Amino acid sequence: MRILLINPPELNEIKATKSADARNNLVPLGLLYLASHLKANHDVNILDMALFKQSTNELPGVIDSYKPNIIGITSVITLWGAVLDLIHTAKQSAPDVVTVIGGPNVSKYPAETLSHKDVDYIIVGSGQKPMLELCDRLEKHERNFQIENCYAQEREYHSLATINSKEYYIDNFPFPDRFATPYDHYNASISPENPTTSMITSMGCPYKCAYCSSRVDQAFQLRKETLVVDEMAEIEQIGIKSILFQDELFTMKPNRVNNICEDIIHRGIRLNWSVKSRIDSIRPEMLDIMQQAGCSNIHFGIESGNDSTLRRMKKGYDIDKIKKTIKMVKASGLQCSGNFMLAYPGEEEKDVLNTIQFAVTLNLNMTHFGITFAIPGTELFYEGVKAGRHSRNDPWSEFTRNPDKGEDLFKIYASNTFNSDQLNKFLDIAFSKNRTLFDLNEEKQA
């Protein structure tokens, strides 16, 4: 079978605020994992339309040239309109092509996704195992079959609780196929050297921050330490210079961090890498060996400069702990970057401005600011419903079923104290006072 996997174009992406424009140019890691598993049995091609800023209008030419039997598209909520355009265009160009959609939005809203008649199949959860079985069965011209976590257009969707079972864990599958896309075109301004790739050593997060959907959407799993370093060695051999680890919490287990770093040093791997961490999961003994092993930056979810807000967020630490951790990390020679959430429920203007100024005092190498949204399914969302801040209707579900309602997609501000103009003004102030990815991008281009 000839399989075309597509990362959708970002030209018509729905953006919550101007902070969405601050991003790195990263590989579609999920598709690379999928390609590496499928290619043993099938011919696989990845089209990263975001990388080359392509439009949907270019898809017919690709289909005519490659002639795929199956088109698989990954989906996030902000690109859902683009995904549906791609599916519709594919069916117009090649009516017999089989369309499959996977990704976070499909896993969260499977029935809504299947309401669109141009979608032949959906994959829920990790895609490698069900997608391979689907391709194998279609190659044999089978039609009446059942595959775990794969659902067909003509059948009623019934939720199954198998997407987090251990047979779907990352280590059961090959490393991502980094040759499936032009790896040397991906870069990140935070990286000391490019090209940069993404990588994961764990999935999910065991903590219970009120605003976060990670615990809801993904079972926590840790990869084997030796396999992590094996993949890093492969990345270095390819010629890639830097890695952005996408784990929610790389530093959760000090012994694991130490073992990974010791193995990197022992093998002589020379890569730059950046990780995400919690303020309270850093230990002094980690920092020196992380730096020796190539770590250049630790990104923290700091979120607020107000103790009262941190308590409502259920972060588990306070302002004093933030100051001490940042000071400790910077003293080690590592760079620090941080994320901040503005306008959390209960905050007044002085609290928002205090968070912005607190970020200034930390003197981080990079900051990112966003407005707080009540993500459907999170504790914060249900708190907002109970408090009457927003409707219990899930706008993302409605949008998935009917994208014409896109204007409502990000109207679930967690706070109802400020209007859109005030929120954008807060972002303008934050960007003007702090070093953000916008600044790093300008410096790289200069």
Q: Phi first, then psi: give them for residue 297, nearest 5 degrees.
A: -155, 140
CB of 235 closer than 8 Å to CB of 263: no
pLDDT at position 357 is: 98
Six-digit token string for 65: 């040239």
CB of 120 closer than 8 Å to CB of 98: yes
pLDDT band at 89 (very low <50, low <70, confident <90, very high): very high
CA gap 69, 98 in Å, rounded: 6
Q: Per residue in 410-422, pLDDT tens?
A: 777 888 899 989 9
pLDDT at position 164 is: 56
Six-digit token string for 274: 């950046």
Closest to 420 measured CA to CA, from 367, 373, 353, 351: 373
The answer, as to whether pTM is greater than 0.85, is yes
Q: Per residue in 349-361, pLDDT tens?
A: 999 999 999 999 9
Tell me whether the omega of the peptide bond preceding residue 206 falls within 30 degrees of 0, making it cis: no
Q: Which amino acid is at 82?
A: A
Say yes or no to pLDDT of 442 above 90.
no
pLDDT at position 163 is: 53
Q: Per residue in 103-128, pLDDT tens?
A: 999 999 999 999 999 999 999 988 99
How far is CA 394 from its chain centroid?
21
Closest to 98 measured CA to CA, from 129, 143, 64: 143
Residues 6+ apart with CB under 8 A from 364: 326, 336, 337, 338, 434, 435
Reported as type and span, the H/E element at residue 7 is strand 2-7
Q: Which domains does the chain have, with CATH numbers?
A: 2-153 (3.40.50.280), 182-372+413-445 (3.20.20.70)
Please state at what angle helix 284-292 crosses helix 319-331, rounded to 10 degrees.
40
pLDDT at position 161 is: 44
Say yes or no to pLDDT of 345 above 90.
yes
Say yes or no to pLDDT of 320 above 70.
yes
CA gap 444, 424 in Å, rounded: 26
Q: Per residue in 50-79, pLDDT tens?
A: 999 999 999 999 999 999 999 999 999 999
Say yes or no to pLDDT of 160 above 60.
no
Q: What proportion of the chain, given as a percentage, has pLDDT over 90?
A: 77
pLDDT at position 217 is: 57
Say yes or no to pLDDT of 309 above 90.
yes
How far is CA 359 from its chain centroid?
24
Q: Per residue in 8-33, pLDDT tens?
A: 999 888 776 776 666 778 999 999 99
pLDDT, the chain, mean: 92
Say yes or no to pLDDT of 407 above 80.
no
* 161-170, 195-204, 362-371, range with the lowest pLDDT: 161-170
Burial readout 296-330 (b: 16 or more C-beta within 10 A, e: otherwise): bbbbbbbbbbbeebbebbebebebeebeebbeebb
